[in-house]
Structure 1
Amino acid sequence: MEYEKLFLEEIPDALDLVRHAEDYRIEYNTVRPHEALAWNRPHDVHASTADPLVPNFLKPANLPTT
């Protein structure tokens, strides 16, 4: 668990700490891409929807020039 993630705001009790930790776990596994997984998300690699050796970058949109 990232140390600085839990200390960005005051957490008054254990139940709030549990909620904070769970929110961070969800963000870490489903939102944030990981360099070690070729910039894929751990949940996608675990669910076999992404290859941990092949980057899964979004392709840039080609906008019309005129």
Structure 2
Amino acid sequence: MIQIHALPAFNDNYIWLLQDLSSQQCVVVDPGDAAPVLEWLAQNPHCRLTDILITHHHNDHVGGVVEL
């Protein structure tokens, strides 16, 4: 089963995190900022970020990719 988390980013955006509950692998979509993702991962140490999906190149969607 996949659980979807909306991580608030900036003042008006979200980073979507998809968590596979059976494997505890996670995927993030359009991480414009790494901080919300890193905070969520720190609070959920049993989960492992395996993939990053990008829908387009704007900075509010790719700004956190390098740090992640």
Q: Shorter-chain TM-score category? A: under 0.3
Higher strand share: 2
Superposition TM-score, scaled by structure 1 size: 0.22
Larger Rg: 1
Higher helix share: 1
Superposition TM-score, scaled by structure 2 size: 0.22
Higher relative contact order (CA 8 A, sep 6+): 2
